[in-house]
Amino acid sequence: MTEKKLLHIVTGPTASGKTDHAIELALKYHCPIISADSRQVYKELDIAVAKPSKNQLATVKHYFIDHVSIHEEFNTGLYTRQARELINDLFNTHQQLIVCGGTGLYIKSLIHGLDALPGKDDALRKELSDLLESDGLSALQNILKSLNSEKFEAMDHQNPQRLIRAIEIEKSGQPADIKVPAFAHEFVIKYDVIELQRDVLYDRINRRVDKMFEDGLEKEAFDLQAYQHLNALQTVGYSEWWPYFKGECTIDVVKDKIKQHTRNYAKRQVTWFKHQLE
C-alpha cells in the first residue's frame, strides 16, 4: 500500500529556528523546501530578512527564495497561485514536501485558498491613499459606506489599508481574478509550529540583530535606501536606517529600534499562529 503524501508546515515566530529545522527535515526526507516568507522572496534582500545561508541553499533546494526582484510585484495572491502549482508539480515526484516560513497569511491562503476576488488596482489605490492624506479616514469610510454599508459595518473600519482593499473590491466591477488552482493530490498536513518562551525568543532576536550588524547590515541597507518607497523595503531591518543615513539619529538607536520592531513582529506572529492556524 502506498503511504499518504505529507506536507510539513514548519512555522513559528521570527528567529525561532525554522530554517535549521526545515533543513533537517528536508535532509531526512530528501525533499525540497517551499518557503512561505514574504521578504525572503526578494533577491535584493539578504541579511535583514535572515535568509538561509548560501551553504544551506546549496544543500537543499529552496523555492520562493530569491524568487523576484524588489521592483516586481509580489503578494499573497501570486504566492498562493504559484505555490499551489509548484506543490502540484512536486508531489508528482515526492511523497513529502516541506513548507517553511513565518508569513502566516501566505500559509493560510496556501492551505485554505483565497476567494476569487479582483486583484489590486494601482491607480485606484493611489487615488484613495491621496484622499486619505487630504481628507482623512472618514472620507474612505464614507465611500465604502455608500458602496456597501453591510460590509462597512462588519469590518475593521478604522484600518485604512483594509478600507482601501474593500473599496477596491467593490469598485472594480471587474470579473474576479484568476482562481487559485486546486490541489491535485491528496495529502496530509502536519503543522510544526515552533514555540518558544517569550524571554527566550526575545533573547534570540536581540542576539540575531547583533549578528546582522556584524554581518554588514548597514551596508546592505545603505545600498537599498534609494528604494525605500518600495513595498519590499517596508521591512524591519531597513526602514530603521533611513533617519540614521540622514544624520537624524545614532546607530545605537537604529539597532535598538530594529530589535524592538522585531520583537513586536514576533509577538504578532505568535498571536496569528495561536488563532489563525488550523
* Of the candidate residues 5, 46, 68, 76, the single one contacting RNA (CB under 7 A): 76
Among 22, 49, 87, 224, binds RNA (CB under 7 A): 49
Q: Does 164 bind RNA (CB under 7 A)?
A: yes
CB nearer to RNA: pick between 59 and 276:
276
Could you say which residues in the range 180-239 bind RNA, by CB under 7 A? 180, 198, 231, 234-237
Cα distance between residue 88 and residue 34, in whole Å: 12
**Among 103, 152, 167, 221, which residue sits at the site for RNA (rule: CB under 7 A)?**
103
Return the residue of 162, 185, 187, 225 that touches RNA, per CB under 7 A: 162
Give yes or no for residue 11 binding RNA (CB under 7 A): no
Q: How many residues bind RNA (CB under 7 A)?
A: 59
Contacts for 11 with CB less than 8 Å, ≥ 6 apart: 18, 36, 99, 100, 101, 102, 104, 107, 191, 192, 193, 194, 273, 277
Return d(Cα 82, Cα 43) in angstroms, integer: 17
What is the enclosing helix (H) or strand (E) of 9?
strand 5-11
Q: Which of 129, 148, 172, 228 binds RNA (CB under 7 A)?
A: 129
Q: What angle do CA 113, 129, 236 make, to 5 degrees?
A: 65
Of 26-34, 54-62, 106-114, 182-190, the segment contacting RNA by CB under 7 A is 106-114
Q: Does residue 38 interact with RNA by CB under 7 A?
A: yes
Least distance CB 15 / RNA (angstroms): 9
Bridge partners for 34 per DSSP: 63, 99
Which of the stretches 1-9, 21-29, 221-229, 259-267 binds RNA when contact is defined by CB under 7 A?
A: 259-267
CB of 200 to RNA, least distance (A): 12
- Specify the long-range contacts of residues 77-82, CB closer than 8 Å, at least 24 apart: 77/109, 77/114, 77/119, 77/177, 77/180, 79/36, 79/38, 79/41, 79/106, 79/109, 79/110, 80/106, 80/109, 80/110, 80/113, 80/114, 80/180, 81/178, 81/180, 81/181
- Cell triple for residue 19? 530554517
Which stretches of the chain bind RNA, using CB under 7 A?
14, 37-40, 48-50, 74-78, 102-106, 109, 114-117, 119-120, 125, 129, 156, 158-162, 164-165, 169, 177-178, 180, 198, 231, 234-237, 260-265, 267-269, 271-272, 274-276
